[in-house]
């Protein structure tokens, strides 16, 4: 999926030094913080306990697991969608929103719902 994260590690392979999100590179901030933060202009990705949190200045956010797969997304108005992956390496994606309706078609292309 285009929205998943790809990681570039340091020369020892221990720490993430940059993150690629859909072709946009987020570089690790040089600021000393308790949790790593990766920046690209006004967008940021923060490493959290169970993965990564992408945020933008208008309140949209996306959560990613430690493997870089997006697990949920939402906004500051309370909209929320959770993503579910089939077990195994193929990881076929099924998306559900907060009311349980499918928001991904069988070809795994995201589509917007205009009514319920």
Residue 104 lies in a domain: no
Q: 36 in a domain, yes or no? A: yes
Range of the domain at 63: 5-75
Q: Measure the CA angle with vertex 40, ends 64 and 52; round to 5°.
A: 15
Are 60 and 77 within 8 A, CB to CB? no
pLDDT of amino acid 94: 66
If pLDDT is split at 50, 70 and 90, which confidence band does 104 have? very low
pTM of the complete model: 0.75
Q: What is the CA radius of gyration of the chain?
A: 15
Cα–Cα distance measured from residue 91 to residue 38, given in angstroms and rounded to the nearest whole number: 26
Rounded distance between C-alpha atoms, residue 84 and residue 70, angstroms? 9
Q: Does residue 83 lie within any of the structural domains?
A: no
DSSP classification of residue 46: E
- How many separate domains does the chain show? 1
pLDDT in tens, 12-69: 988 999 999 999 999 999 887 788 999 999 999 999 999 999 999 998 999 999 999 8
In a domain, 47, yes or no: yes
């Amino acid at each position: 999926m285009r929205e998943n994260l790809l990681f570039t590690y340091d020369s020892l392979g221990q720490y993430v030094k940059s993150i690629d999100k859909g072709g946009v590179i987020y570089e690790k901030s040089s600021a000393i913080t308790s949790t790593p933060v990766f920046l690209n202009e006004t967008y940021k990705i923060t490493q959290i306990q169970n993965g990564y949190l992408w945020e933008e200045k208008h309140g949209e956010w996306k959560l990613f697991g430690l493997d870089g797969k997006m697990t949920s997304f939402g906004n500051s108005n309370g909209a929320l969608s959770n993503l579910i992956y089939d077990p195994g390496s193929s990881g076929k994606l099924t998306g559900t929103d907060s009311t349980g309706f499918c928001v991904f078609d069988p070809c795994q292309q995201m589509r917007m719902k205009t009514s319920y």
